[in-house]
Chain A
Amino acid sequence: MGAKTEGGVEMAKIDLNRIPMPKQSPEERIKNFKEVAQGYTEEMAKKEAARCLQCKTHPCVSGCPVNNDIPGFIKAIKDGDMVEAVRILKRTNALPGICGRVCPQEKQCEAVCTLAKKNAPIGIGYLERYVADWARAHPDKVPKDEIAPPTGKKVAVVGSGPAGLTCAADLTKMGHRVTIFDALHYAGGVLMYGIPEFRLPKDIVQAEVDYVASLGVEIRLDTVIGRMVTVDELLKKYDAVFLGTGAGLPMFLNIPGENLNGIYSANEFLTRINLMKAYLFPEYDTPVKKGKKAAIIGGGNVAMDAARCAKRIGYEEVYVVYRRSKAEMPARKEEVENAEEEGIIFKFLVNPKRFIGDEKGWVRAMECYEMMLGEPDASGRPKPIPKPNSDFTMEVDTVIVALGTSPNPLVSSTTPGLETTKHGTVVADENTGKTKKERVWAGGDIVTGAATVISAMGAGKRAAKSIDDFLRGH
């Protein structure tokens, strides 16, 4: 038996009992905005860490977009050396509390974990979160980051989302002086306005932002680059500029009735709830409509977030209407499961045709087609085609359009020399983030279109490296 090995480790020692994440029960959590996943206890973390095979090939590291030393920090947890675990993680990842919560580990590090072959990958995300939460609870014990001697170079980072924060943190550690500019009144970008409290608590985002600021990054809020100051003006005062303004422009269906009252973009619905705390109205001043029946159009993570928010603010029936089938849904499996547990009703292979309003201009119903799947389209997924004579009407009082977002043109349209694609994304080198404009780098959703937090962080990191090379004259 002992002869069979996997990743250089004897299979006999393998423990396939992945420790599940403790969660609030669905009945309980749909009544509050508190975090669903409650985090490992020390005992759970050590037990899960002990399952790691510490394989020599460590495929998990290359599965991570920022190449965290995963076996390293897991070993430190197992050994009970939390200070070391923090030190290892922070070396490559400025925002572990965020990644541990919102990374799609099942598609990255955990997908390639040696134990994934046995359907029991290590809970890498859960352990990462455990380390980050420990660090937050023990600020005195967290080792200070090493900062390289000052280079005298200045970098402007536009946008304080995952790409900007990562880029700024890395550049600061490399000895450069960094200023982050953000248009909103809080830093964090999509981490603040987009991802809901129950998935990513805002005090955790703030703690990570504070950490980046503590490295010496200056954060200037309420500053809209492109309106208040242009990129060309930044270039006069800074040696380099990094654009990490994300994909903030919501897409709509462009079908009749879409501007009726009660129809939101997911961006608006989520911004009201997350950034402006409309779920606490009237204690907070920004309201959000609390109807009875909501339909969310789309099948991504944002659609799941919007649906679960709607449930929590008191909608009785919440539908996710998606034009393809469950298999094609871009949302994380875990989030779809969470939504299902919370009583969200999925309508697959359905697409709205038009919205019907009442005499006061409020949406009251949605006329839909049933869809069927055809040949793969440009995205590689089967193309949804309306079934003939399949029209039906769904009564709803709220619609949330979650079709995706594209970059806000405010920066690109005011920056001559910055090349963009027909989708509005900025053209930048994949490996370095260098744009067609001199001394300007870009990364994250502004380059890729809406993607994940961690891929934006990876882009921020690569750009930081390239900017550092440039500033040092390499």
Chain B
Amino acid sequence: MQENKHEQDNCACKGKEVIWPECKFQIIKKEKLAQNINLWEVSAPLIAERARAGQFVMVRIHDKGERIPLTLADWDSKKGTITLVFMEVGKTTREMGLLKECDCVPDLIGPLGTPTHVEKFGTVVCVGGGVGVAPAFAVARAMKEAGNRVITIMGARTKSLLFWEDKMRKVSDEVIVTTDDGSYCRKGVVTEPLKEVISREKVDLVFAVGPAIMMKFCASTTKPFNVKTIVSLNPIMVDGTGMCGCCRVTVGNETKFACVHGPDFDAHLVNWDEFMARQRIYIDEEKLSLQLWEQKQKGV
């Protein structure tokens, strides 16, 4: 199959080792942020130029690969790079974890989705859970730049899975860190400090990104306080451009496509049970795929 020909002159892999035969988007930097959590800084000048907080890219790493959405964690339009943070959970993300610096990603499509609505709201609480801390950073920074007072609540299961506390501190007026097991800072989940903050002061907007269950509970935490809450949903997608409807989600009795109408939606209007059921559609296939891949890696 024909792949995109990269532009020789501005391709970042020029003069470097080229591992992917038809390279286009080269991994400039790879960093292990935590156990199973990786950061890629990838050369993608066009995407970097356009990127805005809350948008995502579709990634496909080889000819037989699937297309997966990853929300932008950071970008540098001058350098022409974007930053993606992903956790190794299934076969594709495990394979992504094996890619090294100088490797190229054959397909990176974006920036997709409607950017997060950013304006001067007043006080904004940004909640990031697990790997969701990465996209939460992009939004927190944008909110700060728009003149908001930003309170960040970031949570992880345990201390070793926590990353970007320093980056968050730079763009936040206050940072609250939680770990489920109490191995670092406050023991517990993000909804507890969220409730405290909205109880103690006037909050104009809550933005939450992380596991579906966390976002669901953030929604139910803020609902009684009537604080506008936006979540960044992460459904299964195929094309990511509005073509298939795999990512459809019911928001206030209306069907929306997360890839084009979202991924941001009003948390109080999302049908969470349906959303969480839809995330599990391929759970058996995902397990099988990973199992076969692991066997292959071990040479079984």
- A contact residues vs B (CB 8 Å cutoff): 183-187, 193, 206, 209-210, 213, 219-224, 227-229, 248-250, 252, 254, 258-262, 264-265, 267-268, 271-272, 276-277, 281-287, 289, 360-362, 408-410
Contact = CB atoms under 8 A, between A and B. Distances in A.
B241 to A, nearest CB: 5
Nearest to B109: A222
Interface stretch (B26-34, B161-169, B245-253): B245-253
A23 to B, nearest CB: 27
Contacts of B273: 361
A405 to B, nearest CB: 9
Q: Which of A227, A276, A283, A284 has the most CB of B within 10 A?
A: A227
A285 B255 contact: no
B245 A265 contact: yes
A282 B91 CA distance: 11
A261 B277 contact: yes
B277 A408 contact: no
B107 A259 contact: no
Interface residues of B, number: 48
Q: Which of A224, A277, A289 has the most CB of B within 10 A?
A: A224
A267 B4 CA distance: 24
A283 B244 contact: no
Nearest to A250: B245
What 6 A-B pairs come out closest when comparing CB atoms?
Answer: A361-B277, A268-B244, A287-B285, A285-B66, A265-B245, A286-B66
A252 B254 CA distance: 12
A285 B274 contact: no
B65 A252 contact: no
A285 B289 contact: yes
A252 B245 contact: yes
A265 B246 CA distance: 8
A361 B245 contact: no
A254 B255 contact: yes
A282 B289 CA distance: 6
Given A261-B277, A285-B289, A229 B242 contact: no
B2 A206 contact: yes
Contacts of B246: 264, 268
A185 B109 contact: yes
Given A185-B109, A259-B249, A276-B238, A271 B243 contact: yes
Contacts of A289: 281-282
A26 B137 CA distance: 56
B112 interface: yes
B239 A271 contact: yes
B47 interface: yes
Q: Which of B245, B273, B278 has the most CB of A within 10 A?
A: B245
B249 to A, nearest CB: 7
A409 B239 CA distance: 15
A289 B246 CA distance: 13
Contacts of B109: 183, 185, 222-224
Contact of B243 (A187, A248, A252): A248
13 contacts: A184-B239, A206-B2, A219-B4, A224-B112, A227-B50, A250-B244, A252-B245, A254-B255, A268-B244, A271-B244, A276-B66, A282-B292, A287-B282
Contact of A213 (B2, B111, B243, B292): B2
B112 to A, nearest CB: 6
Given A267-B243, A271-B244, A277-B64, A221 B4 contact: yes
Contact of A361 (B4, B278, B282): B278
A428 to B, nearest CB: 21
A267 B241 CA distance: 12
Nearest to B238: A271
B115 to A, nearest CB: 10
Given A284-B64, A286-B66, A206 B1 contact: yes
A277 B249 CA distance: 25
Contacts of B282: 287, 289
A139 to B, nearest CB: 16
B2 A408 contact: no
Contacts of B3: 185, 221
B244 to A, nearest CB: 4
B283 to A, nearest CB: 10
A201 to B, nearest CB: 13
Given A213-B2, A259-B255, A268-B245, A183 B239 contact: yes
Nearest to B65: A285
Contacts of B24: 222
A183 B259 CA distance: 14
B244 A267 contact: yes
A228 B64 contact: no
Contact of A185 (B46, B60, B248, B278): B60
Interface string B254-277: 010000100000000001011001
B248 A259 contact: yes
B106 A185 contact: yes
B197 interface: no
B241 A183 contact: yes
Given A186-B2, A268-B238, A360 B277 contact: yes
B288 interface: yes
Contact of B242 (A187, A220, A223, A408): A408
Nearest to B91: A285
B54 interface: no
B131 interface: no
B289 A261 contact: no
Contacts of B43: none
A250 B247 CA distance: 12
A283 B274 contact: no
B243 A261 contact: no
B278 A261 contact: yes
